[in-house]
Structure 1
Amino acid sequence: MAGGTTPHFHNDAGHDRIAIGVREFMCVGATPPYDHPHVFLDMGDENEIVCPYCSTLYVHNPDLAAGETEPAGCVFDAHADAA
């Protein structure tokens, strides 16, 4: 994602599937301190990808913005603890 910040997503609620508006992102698993290694995932030309650590299925939905998820509430603010 040249020229921007890579969105981070979490799955605290244990959803089987999370729709996101980007194809390149970081999965953190659950929020710290229960996170897994923050892994960069790139769907490429595909419309979905499974995180190799937490097995969350991420599905690309072009109708969503980079900071939106379905279900809502799965965006992780990597800078929130630094403030």
Structure 2
Amino acid sequence: MADKIVPHFHNDPGVQTIAIGAKRFMCIGARPPFDHPHVFLDMGDDSEIVCPYCSTLYKHDATLHGFEARPPECALEESRAA
């Protein structure tokens, strides 16, 4: 059930930084079947965090909704399904 409420992001485009609207989320690396172990990341009071698996830098952007990303294709839409 947690996968339905926690936003998931991936880095298929291979960008260095992804802006996201969430501070607590899952990084999956790339889309399956090339994903890494899905890791839960929590920025806490910080505004950015680096994924320990794929080294993607995630930066919080309060202008984005919790499931949105910039670039937009980095948001995994399946994580929004009910």
TM-score by length of 1: 0.87
Greater percentage in strand: 1
Greater RCO (Cα-Cα under 8 Å, separation 6 or more) = 2
Structure 2 match to 1:37: 37
Instruction: Report the number of matched residues.
Output: 77
Structure ID, larger Rg: 1
Which 4+ runs in 1 deviate beyond 2 A? Answer: none
Structure number having the greater helix percentage: 2
CA distance in 2, matches of 1:78, 1:64: 16
Unpaired runs of 5+ residues, structure 2, are none
Distance in 2 (CA, whole Å) between partners of 1:79 and 1:69 is 13
Structure 1's unaligned 5+ residue stretches are none
How big is the alpha-carbon RMSD for the aligned residues of Structure 1 and Structure 2?
1.6
